[in-house]
Copies of this chain bind each other. A is one copy, B any other.
Amino acid sequence: MPNNQFKRGELYSFITGKASTAIARRLQKNFKQQGVEITIEQWSVLYHLWKQDGMSQQELCNSTFRDKPSITRLVDNLEKQKLVKRVSSKEDRRMNMIFLTETAKRLQDQSMDIANQTLNEALEGVDVGDIDLCKAVLQQVYDNLK
């Protein structure tokens, strides 16, 4: 039996990612309660644009760990809500560069506060060293599978 063989119940919860689902739901709820009308998926796109505005859709795919159709639709919806604008690149007309609107720029601080607050709710009572170790394990898992 391999080293890491899980017991039944544990396997389930690890695979289905109960904890990350719970965090996502809570973040969505906190956004809503504080009047931030975006989905967490939209937030994840904005998050990367706040770090670097004007990324291409392909770059957003890589950053957000989503496939191209997903980004197409997320950008569609963000555009409908007037949070980003598609600008087709002059050097390579296949590419769309995605730019934040002023509205989206104003959302950054508030939404990052909500995200941090959500994580603090999630991690209440967890030892800081344990969090670091957990982050390392999850990173290793990601690297193993990517």
Interface residues of A (CB under 8 A from B): 2-6, 8, 10-27, 40, 44, 47, 51, 64-65, 115-116, 118-126, 128, 130-131, 133-142, 144-146
- Copies per complex? 2
- Say how far A83's CB is from chain B's closest CB, in angstroms: 18
Inter-subunit contact B17/A23 (CB<8 Å): yes
CA distance A22 to B20 in the complex (A): 12
The answer to whether A145 touches B122, judged by C-beta atoms less than 8 angstroms apart, is yes
Q: Are A141 and B65 in contact (CB under 8 A)?
A: no
Question: Taking A20-B20, A21-B65, A135-B10 as contacts, is the C-beta distance between A145 and B119 under 8 angstroms?
Answer: no
| Contact of A4 with B128 in the complex, beta carbons under 8 Å | yes
